[in-house]
Amino acid sequence: MKKTVNKSISYFDSGYGCAEAVLMAAAEYKNIRSELIPRIATGLCGGMGKTNGMCGAVSGAVLAISMIHGRNKAEDSREALNARVQTFVHAFQDKFGSIGCTGLTHCDLSTDDGQKKFEALNMHEKCSGFVGEATRLVIKLL
């Protein structure tokens, strides 16, 4: 697990977004290759495209859970998937106090001032911690 967590942080530190990094590491952990990864997660980075939405690391983890436990047919149940997502979200929120990008970083990434504050406070380093923990938590649920 530590190797996968470190891989997600390495992806994030190399320029991939938070959602991309978590999804890529989880996919590699499960030996899944797809041209859609990391593309499918790109718009979720930075709090859903810098709209102050859900943390991208959280979104990437939910994508990873869905990638493994999602359904293939409309009549298939979502209950097992929903239970895993709820377990993940509660654990992340309990640890950090929020699942929202703005709540975690205290920066409004939808504005130039918020983005400057993010840089000035070196929030990338803090977000590396969110990426690592999201990866650790999600690997336990896959």
Q: Do 110 and 50 meet the contact criterion of CB atoms below 8 Å apart?
A: yes
The whole-angstrom separation of Cα 120 and Cα 113 is: 10
Query: What range defines the domain where residue 19 resides?
Result: 2-141
The whole-angstrom separation of Cα 63 and Cα 136 is: 14
pLDDT at 104: 97
Residues of the chain with confidence (pLDDT) below 70: none
Short-list 132, 99, 122, CA closest to 21: 132
Q: What is the pTM of this model?
A: 0.96
The whole-angstrom separation of Cα 105 and Cα 101 is: 6
pLDDT at 1: 85
Q: What is the dihedral of CA 108, 112, 113, 115, to 10 degrees?
A: 60
- The pLDDT tens digits for 73-84 are 999 999 999 999
Q: Structurally, how many domains does the chain consist of?
A: 1
